[in-house]
Amino acid sequence: MTALLASGRDADVYALDERRVLRRYRRGGDVAAEAAIMRYVSDHGYPVPRIYQAEGADLVMERLEGPTMLQALGDGTLDLKAGATVLADLLERLHKVRVRSATDPGTRILHLDLHPENVVMTEGGPVVIDWRNSCEGPPELDVAMTALIIATVAVLPGHQFAERAEAFLDTLLSCTRDNPLSQLEAAVHRRSADANVTADEKVHLHEAKLLVTTAARAHF
């Protein structure tokens, strides 16, 4: 490991060389399931980093060049409407990937943490990172989780994106065909139980839920 590139809520990312990074989860765990889903969606044309090795709590992946969507929105290289449209498209594209063994035709692969900090804007297009929460289920749950995360930013005092998050949420929901309201309670429950969600964010979950409800009712 030559340098610490970034630290997230539960993992650190180190540069290994010019083309590879190591993502290591600080509390341990097994990355096998995460790696399997990433490889599966990649095989179906979905933009994720290439995986070189997955063992224990360590995931060696392709090193991506470019800002996160949040950084691009912040520095003005990506406008609000374009960013929200890209995010809605990434959700829709993911939900078109055929699930391997589901008996319910409505079941899809879900990311469950797809927001502007988990999209890297590379020269080749947006690439989705951080698949640890991914699973299978109804696409409306994925949209509800994304909407709830963005709404939490909108109601959370002091966040750098707070003033624009509500407009971003409104544009996102205007671009998606999946109504998040049917799965909003489930999304709130998941966020409440997530150890990586801060206490302050959990305090504002009810307020964020109301914001998502209002925004969704304007479009569905």
Q: What is the CATH number of the domain that holds 40?
A: 3.30.200.20
Chain CA centroid to CA 31, Å: 17
> 205-217 vs 184-193: helix axis angle to the nearest 10?
160
Same domain, residue pair 182 and 133: yes
pLDDT surpasses 90 at 27 = no
Query: Residue 91: is it exposed, middle or buried by C-beta count within 10 angstroms (0-12/13-18/19+)?
Result: buried
pTM: 0.94
Same domain, residue pair 78 and 129: yes
Same domain, residue pair 201 and 152: yes
Residue with tokens 């947006």: 126
Residues 6+ apart with CB under 8 A from 163: none
Q: How confident is the model at residue 123 (pLDDT cuts 50, 70, 90)?
A: very high
Same domain, residue pair 31 and 115: no
Same domain, residue pair 149 and 53: no
Residue-level pLDDT at 58: 93
pLDDT surpasses 70 at 1 = no
Q: How confident is the model at residue 153 (pLDDT cuts 50, 70, 90)?
A: very high
Domain boundary among 42, 62, 82: 62
Residues 81, 172: Cα–Cα separation, whole Å:
8
Average the pLDDT over 38-63 and give the result.
96
Domain boundary among 62, 85, 107: 62
Residue-level pLDDT at 190: 97
Comparing CA positions, the residue from 141, 109, 37, 122 lying closest to residue 78 is 122
Question: Per residue in 83-108, pLDDT tens?
Answer: 999 999 999 999 999 887 767 878 99
Give yes or no for a contact between 47 and 169, defined as CB atoms under 8 angstroms apart: no
Q: In terms of residue numbers, what domain contains 55?
A: 3-62
Count up the domains in the chain and report the number: 2
Residue-level pLDDT at 166: 96
Q: Give the DSSP per-residue string, 6-17.
A: EE-SSEEEEE-S
pLDDT surpasses 90 at 37 = yes
Residues 141, 171: Cα–Cα separation, whole Å:
18
Residues 148, 126: Cα–Cα separation, whole Å:
21
Residues 173, 125: Cα–Cα separation, whole Å:
22
Same domain, residue pair 43 and 148: no
Question: Per residue in 157-191, pLDDT tens?
Answer: 888 898 999 999 999 999 999 999 999 999 999 99
